[in-house]
Structure 1
Amino acid sequence: MKNPRRHIKSRFLNENIDLEEYKEQLRSIRLAIAIRNVLDLRNISVAEFAAIMGKDRSTINKWLSGTYCFSLSTLYEITEGLGIL
């Protein structure tokens, strides 16, 4: 019987992680790309987005790095700030 918690080599962290952690990384990257795409489509800079969100640029850069693990409340804040919801 195969081990259900397969471990794989993460391209992003260069270490062994289990499959669920890898999927979580991919979700974070996809969310970061989606946020960046909305900013680009609306011609909003990182500095402008930080001002809209009431956050430091460093926080926004973490969000856009693809390594930030978004909470549901953070995602809701972002959608409100971008006028998506």
Structure 2
Amino acid sequence: MEKRSPIFDEVSKRTSPFIKRKVALSFAISERILDILEYRGISQADLARMMGKSESEISKWMSGVHNFTSETIAKIEVALDENILMMAQGYRHKPASVRK
């Protein structure tokens, strides 16, 4: 097991739960998109062409720190004909904590 840097630990302590969650969600979204691309044999360059975007913009999105808007996610979903975010619709349950 690798030993973490004390600097990393200090920065992590000072990072708010909101920022940690925001970053985790951004990474999850970009990972989902990358999984779809890989499964379908579509490159980031192909996605850029499909969406009328530059390859560099798609690359930035896939870095894991892009702040995806619902509009951008919807456009990607339409371009790929795939769901990026999968949410229970019409399902009611006891709210669960997002903190881990």
**Residue deviations 1:39-70, cap 9 Å, x none?**
00000011111000110001100111101010
* Higher share in strand: 1
**1:56 matches 2:59:** no
Deviation at 1:38, TM superposition (A): 0.1
The yes-or-no answer on 1:82 pairing with 2:80 is yes
Long gaps (5+) in structure 2: 1-10, 84-100
Aligned partners of 1:81 and 1:63: how far apart in 2? 15
Q: Which has the higher contact order (CA 8 A, sep 6+)?
A: 2
Question: Hey, what does 1:40 align to over in structure 2?
Answer: 38
Report what 1:5 is aligned to: none
What residue ranges of structure 1 are gaps of 5+ in the alignment?
A: 1-7, 11-15
| TM-score, structure 2 normalization | 0.68
The structure that has the greater radius of gyration is 2
Query: Root-mean-square deviation (CA), in Å?
Result: 1.5
2:25 to 20, 24, 27: 27
Q: Give the aligned length.
A: 73
Equivalent-residue separation in structure 2 for 1:33 and 1:74 (angstroms): 15
Normalising by the residue count of structure 1, what TM-score does the alignment of the two structures yield? 0.80
* AA of the residue aligned to 2:38: D
Partner residue, 1:3 = none
Q: Percent identity, aligned pairs only?
A: 29
- Aligned mates of 1:24, 1:31 — CA distance in 2: 11
